[in-house]
A and B are shown apart, each in its own frame.
Chain A
Amino acid sequence: MTAVSGEFRREIEAIGEVFAFLGNFADGQEIDEKNAFCINLVVEELFTNMVRHNEGGGDRITLSIERRNDRIHLELLDIDVEPFDPKTAEIPPVDAGIEERRPGGLGIYLVKKMVDDLKYDYEAEDRRMRITVTKTLEN
């Protein structure tokens, strides 16, 4: 099918609109609750990461989503931003006790654990950052 896209305000508060967009997609594709939960989580973490780390960027973030058979392809596009590769985020010590744990770093870690593939691409000429994700739907 053709990818569907939406543009969203670069604000944490826009996440409700992002979820509404994803909900419509999940309903149309008859994606079950568990997979919809995962897609929501992946997009929220990547979207909020862009909002927090790409300050000064354009006022909109573009989200595209497409289903190809049992795979979901996601793309988040952010323009006029500094490079920031979320894959370089520190890995939290998830096996450690609470004394060794620190807040932060969990969002991108969850994304990496829940998707098949996470790609980061930055075009310096127009300061364009693109994150693409592939996730296989679970039965």
Chain B
Amino acid sequence: MFEIKRDANGTISLHGRLDASQVNNARAVFAQVKESCDVDFAELSYISSAGLGLLFGTQKKLVDTGGGLTLINLSPHIREIFQIAGFDNIFEIA
């Protein structure tokens, strides 16, 4: 089960498990991101390379225009995946 929401401040909240079968649901929301915003991982229990690739593509788009995503409330497991992938060099992780 995966859900994605965007609040009035532009913060994107991820809920559940972001796997390869769910990434297209998230893609529609990230495609609308045009400027810097937070992505809240508090309710995300799982992510694989499919989700990492989507975040990477969004970050690349934003960095080209001087912006970027800030990732917040990562669980220790997910933070470790980001570190292995070298994504802690690419994203601001709060």
Contact = CB atoms under 8 A, between A and B. Distances in A.
Interface in B1-56: 17, 19-21, 46, 48-50, 52-53, 56
Given A15-B19, A19-B17, A110 B81 contact: yes
Interface in B35-94: 46, 48-50, 52-53, 56-57, 59-60, 63, 76-77, 81, 84-86, 89-90
A101 interface: yes
B17 to A, nearest CB: 7
Interface in A68-100: 92-98
B26 to A, nearest CB: 14
Interface residues of A, number: 30
A58 to B, nearest CB: 20
Interface of B: 17, 19-21, 46, 48-50, 52-53, 56-57, 59-60, 63, 76-77, 81, 84-86, 89-90
